[in-house]
Structure 1
Amino acid sequence: MKKLSGFFGSVLFTILAFKLFAGSVTVSWNPNSETDLAGYKIYYGTQSRNYDKTIDVGNTTSYRITNLSDGLTYYFAVTAYDTANNESDFSEEVFITLAPPEQPPVVAYFQAVDPQTLHLVFNKKMDPQSLKTISNYTISPTIQILSVEIDTSLTVVTIHTDKHQVGKTYTLTVQNVKDLAGNSMENPYSVNYSFKDQTPPFLERISLLNSETIRLYFNEPLDATTVTNT
């Protein structure tokens, strides 16, 4: 094999897959036709035509490069070498910027609106089908979830339930929901909540027991201290 300038000048050199997994790319190129071909080397780095890394990949025309940093631009070129260890000039250069990894969705806000309504707000647009799946939400102690609504932003969820008991603590758990890119929540989301009694008691009726005693009937149990001191 002769050492020729532009050895790969007319050879197609492409990136087959921008990103197979986080921090990796696969590069491929057309094979050289010379009979004494021994293999190829991939040169790459974060500066154009200034490569600080080299991989001898042997006699193959596709190779996956790993341990790349997301968010950086990498430049790639290939050379061929023959059985006498003569090496060609660089191929045409290609480059790729590895996008930062997608962050999993999280619940950014929760509100227990009333004993039959809960609100969730996610930090990004979500897959509507996974949001509407009732089995992705559970309440303990058990409260039946009747329906789930999502607004047009695909971030706000309204959960309609059977009536909660005032003063009791419940736990809502959300899991298996996905964003539009198909990323699932990293961990199930759980939050404790309760509803305070905000309705004042009222007197329903009065019963005269005798000339010195009356009995008062309220609509709900009262605090014993306030009743005795009144």
Structure 2
Amino acid sequence: MNKWITKQVSKLALVATTLLVLSVGAYAADITPPGDVTNFTGTAFDGSVQLSWAPATDDTGIAGYQVHYGRTSVSQDGQSYETFIDVGNVTDYVLTGLNNNSAYYFSVIAYDAASNESARWAAEISLTPNAAAGAVVDSIPPQVVEAEAIDKETVKVVFSEPVKLPAEDPQDAFTIEDNGTFTALIASDAGFDPADVSERTVLVTTEDQIANAQYRVTASIEITDKAGTPISSGISDSALFTGSSLEPAQPLEFVKAESVSKNGVKVTFDAPLELDLNFNIDPSENFVITETQTPNSGLSILGVEVEIENGNPTGTVALITTEQKAVSYTLTVNGLKDNSGKDITPDPNTITFNGTASEDPTDPTDPTDPTDPTDPTDPVLSIEAFNFLAKATFSAQKYLLHFTWELPEENDAIKQFFYISTDNEEFEKTGELEGGITAAEVDGLEPGEYWFKLTQTDEDGNETEGVVTKVLLAETGPGLLGMLVGSTILGRIVTRRKSKDQE
């Protein structure tokens, strides 16, 4: 029997024996959660299910929905499902990649623009995919979820699912007008955002926009989903955006790439890199190194560091890699964006260099100084934590942050220290943990930007540089969504990424 139960806002399991609570004493802004989702139904197909529900209500409007599912029924207050996926602001969704003949349990919640979530799960349903049911017939039309001006000539349009564009003149599938004067903004080109491999995001090139003008972009029925279902005219086929005055980004150009040690590659571009390492770099996605003659073999990127000179970034990036061989390598850069979100991926985006098999462990940012503390072979980093992540919830009228992280297998830390900062410069120690702990809580935070640092100490009292994660708490409610902004080791991004189950 379906049950209405109260959901636990946090999706993180909290283990009392490994939890540290740090209080900084403040009260949160008010919140009004969306209404509970009703009329939740579904149909099982071959390896997939088709789900639908009635629109939820909210005092400021629904921003989207999350589908939660797993192999175990949720029947008690505070329980959570194994996996969830943010499906955007839609009321139908096809979930694929499921195992046939295995029962799955599903529910859904709504969230608003302030990231407040429904207080209770939708009535749970159970579905069992099976081959005999055949493939799902996708009759759900794609929808425009949001639009944003990236610069004065580029508009990003995000759809609710992967779409197909017309083979010829794809820009003609979009109409853009000033929302006040109805003056047309001419589009000259359209194509998929290379940073979104799902093909849900389209970049539309326009004539110069008027800064701060309100525009409406409308997608035509020429745009379909992958099953060929066209967008429904007049139903979630448009979105508003504000015109930008930013100049279009110019692609970088490679100057050179060179191996400076068996674990380091220095890459020089033709212009300074305006990059925030907390937001704009994912080493494993943005940088790929393969052997030129054997593309199936290559190097893993362990970290990235932008060279700073007189407080400003230069055009040089140091890549920390797994151990190289004395062969030719090809570096490929993909989806690199600057601080404004503009794509600055080099064109062409590949360059070759010769690997180093030397045992000399010099730092790629300073090959003449083997004692530099950022040396990738520095043993102090062997006990550094990684995947240092934060997720906010709201409890007892206060913000509550749940932190989780992972420790390397060779970790021999005796103690761990927690620090907090409001400017990413001055950090205050707020707690001490035993070496094997991998979760903590911080409560009582007021709205604002915070940086949290986690360090490790060995038996001799040596303390690591630490991993840092940034958290933004909105003024209007607890930032439950979009908070996991990356982890750094004093500017270096840790490359081990969370699984989909953790998102």
- TM-score under structure 2 normalisation? 0.21
Which structure is larger by alpha-carbon Rg, 1 or 2? 1
